Chain A
Amino acid sequence: MALVNQPAGELLIHYRDETGSTGSTKFHFPFATLASVVFTQADLLSAALNAVTGCAIDGYTISYTKSEDTPETPDDGARVENKGRFVYRTANARTSLFSIPGIIEDVLLPNSNTIDQADLLIAALNTAVVGGALNFCSADGSDLTAILEAYQVMAGGKKPSNR
């Protein structure tokens, strides 16, 4: 049981036409290619594409995907829509959040959708996130400094994928 990388990473270049519709061009590169190298390639390819398309090029996304070769069996009744939402304060006085799909009932306070921050597993997670073991930041690059709130929420999932 392990996460194994795809043979190739993906570079998606994003377009927008006159009507506002969007599209993309997909390129592949060897998985071991450094992101800094792919950034250079993406700039070069974007410039070349800009000369042959009437659409505007809005940017690009570089992705490296690993898939579990032997996924575990989910718990009975586990639903990705049942999320634990963790909201953090940031160093620039804003907030940032992440969600954990399929949050277990054991970490909720009784008769509540509030996540018990005194729970040992939750405390370990928070310590890692704000204590420096993990170097997450907000969308604007600011550090996560303290947990603000954590709660259970039912939020949209996706249709199963065959990929």
Chain B
Amino acid sequence: MKYAVDTPYAFMDAEASAFASLIAPLTGCALIRQRILYKAVADPRDVPDMGSTILSQGVFFFTTGDDTPMELIAVPGILEEVLSDVEPVAGYAIDTDNADIIAFIDAVTSNGLTNPFGDAIASLDAAYLQSRA
């Protein structure tokens, strides 16, 4: 089902319950999940860089506390410019002194993001290049 994009979650959640009660007697299947999605699309769409590939991705491990699971955030097409050139990690460690990487880490740690279990992200633990080719 579709709604106007500015429809509040609580409104759709309530209508989903009403809709589910209407269709329950019409189906032999069991309800197992409800998902409410909001979508945004870039307009116009950007052109990817020459040679960019989603297989070359940066992976960032963030802590969420001493006893809670880490959060892993993967960035496809990570730029070579943000990789460290300092041995022995040159070419695969992500340069956490790079200004754009600092800005990204700050955006992650200062916006209330969590791991899948709802534990708040605290700080970056490690970041490196992972090729999925």
Contact = CB atoms under 8 A, between A and B. Distances in A.
Q: Do A and B actually bind? A: yes
Interface of A: 3, 6-8, 15-19, 21-31, 33-35, 38-39, 41-42, 44-45, 48-68, 71-80, 84, 96, 98, 100-104, 107, 121-122, 124-125, 128, 133-139, 141
B1 interface: yes
B74 interface: yes
Contacts of A45: 104, 107-108, 111
15 contacts: A25-B74, A25-B76, A28-B113, A39-B40, A45-B108, A54-B51, A55-B52, A57-B46, A58-B45, A59-B39, A63-B35, A64-B35, A65-B36, A100-B26, A135-B7
Given A21-B55, A41-B111, 15 more contacts: A7-B114, A8-B116, A18-B53, A27-B113, A28-B113, A29-B114, A53-B77, A54-B78, A57-B46, A58-B46, A59-B40, A61-B37, A62-B38, A63-B36, A101-B27
Contacts of A59: 39-42
Given A66-B34, A104-B27, A125-B23, A15 B7 contact: no
A17 B58 CA distance: 14
Contacts, number: 234
A78 B15 CA distance: 25
B100 A74 contact: no
Contacts of B117: 7-8
B74 to A, nearest CB: 6
Q: Is the interface of A mostly helix, strand, loop or mixed?
A: mixed
Contacts of A15: 54, 76-77
B115 interface: yes
Interface string B85-118: 0000000000000001101101110011111111
A62 B37 contact: yes
